[in-house]
Structure 1
Amino acid sequence: MHVILIAGGWSDEREVSLSGAKKIHSALEELGHTVTFFDPADDFKSLLTIAKEADFAFINLHGTPGEDGLIQAILDKADCPYQGAGPAASYLALNKAASKEVFEDRGIKTPDWQLVTPVQGVATPLELELPVFVKPNKGGSSLGMSLVKRAEDFPAALEKVFAMCQSALVESFIPGVELTCGILGDDPLPLIMIKPRSDSEFFDYANKYAEDGAEEICPAPVDEELSDSIQAQMVVAHNALGLTGYSRGDFMVTKDGEAYLLEVNTLPGMTPTSLLPQAAGHVGFSFTELIGELIRLGLEKGTHK
């Protein structure tokens, strides 16, 4: 097949996207596909034309565009199939406040939260008990995130997010262990436990991408009951958001065993050492086989209309 590999873009996660695309490109060629690399930051206006000539598009974008559903909407117009969620589901999952409303509606625990917009401004009163996380409402890789422990630091944390042209999601701090759960097709993958570096308070950008970053343990050393519960919740969240193909959700688990879903990622990191490929590897998928499976699922779903 002729596959367009779409990566890069203009979000703050551009370099992460380009880094992952290198291995995906090699895997696509190993699978026998003809690959055309496309960076929407360089030639956005050509996407519809190029997509009409392709058999499939593999999207490796993070943030906007990509996870917001824009690229998927254009691919739908070109009748070009792709892996993962369609436009509406992508946007719903990327918007953390909106997705939390869905989680709560389906009975899935998520940390208490408050949305603060630039219109409300940095003088907006904090409605939650400290400490809290303040993060961009639509973004990833922990960019722009602050852990606020003192009320006087709250306005600066909001300003940091507003400088990124974002609304701010304020979220109660849940002490505990971070676990992540991927979905491949209709089935949950083994949990991964994330242990941040000793000099970090949370799973920040350096923990995710530095060579000496967080320790990731797969499968997570947790009891079967907790594992089954989180996997079941992840399946409910995946379906409630209308996702297809694959996704990955991040959970915090308290010392009492209460699991809280933080967010769901519709375009998980796709390097061989990224979290979802690690979990897929534990159930027998090599990285190249995983790329092939995502293409199969995308073709099976069609153009997501």
Structure 2
Amino acid sequence: MRRLIDVTWHSIASAVFPYIEPLTPAQKTAEAQRLQQDRAAIRAAVWNSNEERALDEAQKVAAAEMERVRTAEGKATTYLAVLAALVPVIITLQAANWEKKAGPAPDAARLFVLALATVYVAGAGFNAFKTLQVRGFQKLGEPELVAAWQTPNPLRKLTRGTLLATRNSRDVVNEKVTRILVTHEHLLRAFGIFILLLLLDPLFYAMGFRNAAQEPPAPKVVIVQKPAASVPFELKCTIAQPVRPSGGPTDGTVISEARPRRPVKPRTDRRRVDPSPTKSCPTAGTTPTLKIAPVPQDGAKVP
């Protein structure tokens, strides 16, 4: 039961975030024993019938391993170039989110998806760099060739040395191939996350979500009164109307002012004076029409 739970957990974790599971101590011991057995079998092998054919086959095996290394490292270089192109995209999306220039999708959803994409991109970059790491790879060089021709059977010596170098490098080659496979899986998930990030705004817009920056501001009417002694009451109406360019959001306001014409000399008959001046401000988008009542000049207070 416990083993089944471990296998299930490993499968779920690998599906969400692919990774290389390390070997257990028992598996490491088994791999070490297998390596020793293969080395002993290569040293004990005797090629008396056709040494040239044996050397040719050994070189083919070594060339196949070298081709696996070149393929893995070539893919790692290509993936790193793709990752380098994705970094500015992530920075731009993050800056747009912090500056509130994004669409109607909630900030929490956008940040969560962007964080997932960043994690997958970082995982792909880490495994690609580990693929390009050079370590533990063996091959025959000049000293081995010179030493082989100093023996009675140089071809047999070269065959044995080529096979030993190939077997000793197999674990490193397998690790490079595994790393590039994990890099590929991370890039696939990052690509899917970026597609989801592009679909967030249309989906939330279709569900009725709107960004605060996309709503047109309501027009504001500001009334400024400047009473002065022995001067008729002056009324100033300032109407702030949003300017909407054709097919675009509101990006500015236009302020229109309406000043009444200075009235003639007011009447001195207090019985006919209206105690409260008449103020009338136009609504947004209409021609201002103002009515101003005179103010008494005999020391009467304006309410």
Fold shared per TM-score above 0.5: no
- Report the TM range for the smaller structure's normalisation: under 0.3
- The two structures have a TM-score, normalised by structure 1, of 0.20
Bigger helix share:
2
- Which structure's CA Rg is the greater one? 2
- The two structures have a TM-score, normalised by structure 2, of 0.20
